[in-house]
Amino acid sequence: MIRHIVMFKFKESAAGKTKEENLREAKARMLALKDQIPELGALEVLFGADGQAPGNYDYILVSDFESLQQLEAYQAHPAHVAFGQFVKELREPDGRACIDYEL
């Protein structure tokens, strides 16, 4: 089993919306991928706490996969690629961190 964790720092505003609006939309879009990508196992999307330190990340995605091959299939899936392009416009230029590890 592979756990895939991704964190983003969102811009204060992007695409004509506030950070909070963009966080909610990104969460909804990510959760919708569960129905579109069969390789995607357990999935959780969380936001940083109100009043957290300014340098902290705003958005965290925790997802599980049966194998690295399933993770790679998820990452190459067109729906995931589209999500990545969407989020890229909303996050800070260096505002992404990721780790994959075995459970």
pLDDT tens figures, 47-91: 999 999 989 999 999 999 999 999 999 999 999 999 999 999 999
Sheet containing strand 59-65, edge to edge, reads: 43-47, 59-65, 2-10, 91-102
Question: Is 45's pLDDT higher than 90?
Answer: yes
User: What confidence score (pLDDT) does residue 7 get?
Assistant: 98
Instruction: Give the integer Cα–Cα distance in Å for 49 and 58.
Output: 8
* Full domain range(s) for residue 83: 2-102
User: What confidence score (pLDDT) does residue 39 get?
Assistant: 94
What's the structural domain count of the chain?
Answer: 1
pLDDT band at 6 (very low <50, low <70, confident <90, very high): very high
CATH of residue 46: 3.30.70.100
User: What confidence score (pLDDT) does residue 54 get?
Assistant: 87
User: What confidence score (pLDDT) does residue 20 get?
Assistant: 97
> What is the average pLDDT across 11-35?
97
pLDDT band at 27 (very low <50, low <70, confident <90, very high): very high
